[in-house]
Amino acid sequence: MMHRLRPMLPGDRTALFNIIDNISEFSPADVLVAREVIDSHLQDPCGSGYSVLVAEIEKKVVGYICYGPTPLTQGTWDMYWMATSPEQQGQGIGSDLVVLAESQIMESGGRLIMIETSSRPEYEKTLRFHRNRGYELIVRIPDFYAPGEDKLILQKRLDR
């Protein structure tokens, strides 16, 4: 079934929270932060510093991506959170969300896109997803999140 992408609206909150709650890769702490990011954007869309795009299939929200300019930089952007509802994964929804976010970042003068993630085995599939979309692993900070759990920083250059 075809999906459609659009900016997030206040009425999407419950559907997005349901998706976030059903992502097995997210730890309880991840779930809290991912929910907070949605709420902070809904409370103050301009001041939050994020943009959120959602994917819907026949009016049902099935995925989202959240990104924004990195404070104190010129043209660097962060891709903060994204998820596709587990039943709808593997159909190209995540890829399309990334492509649209990248084109909007480019239109806003973005040069670099950064993604921070964890070395937890749960995120291996996610890491592969980003690397397949041109995000390069450039930094590994050992034991950052916990003993044995590194922080990984990926980067995609839009100016090449």
Ligand X SMILES: CC(C)(COP(=O)(O)OP(=O)(O)OC[C@H]1O[C@@H](n2cnc3c(N)ncnc32)[C@H](O)[C@@H]1OP(=O)(O)O)[C@@H](O)C(=O)NCCC(=O)NCCS
Question: Under the rule (CB under 6 A), what is the footprint of ligand X?
Answer: 23, 25, 63, 81-84, 89-95, 123, 125-126, 129, 132
Provide the minimum distance between the beta carbon of 84 and ligand X in the complex, in angstroms, as a whole number.
Answer: 3
Of the pair 46, 121, the CB lying nearest ligand X is at 121
Number of residue whose CB is nearest ligand X: 94
Cα distance between residue 140 and residue 119, in whole Å: 9
Provide the minimum distance between the beta carbon of 92 and ligand X in the complex, in angstroms, as a whole number.
Answer: 4
Partnered with residue 146 across adjacent β-strands are 149
Of the pair 25, 56, the CB lying nearest ligand X is at 25
Give exposure, 9-28, as e/b (b: 16+ Cβ within 10 Å): eeebbebbeebbeebeebee
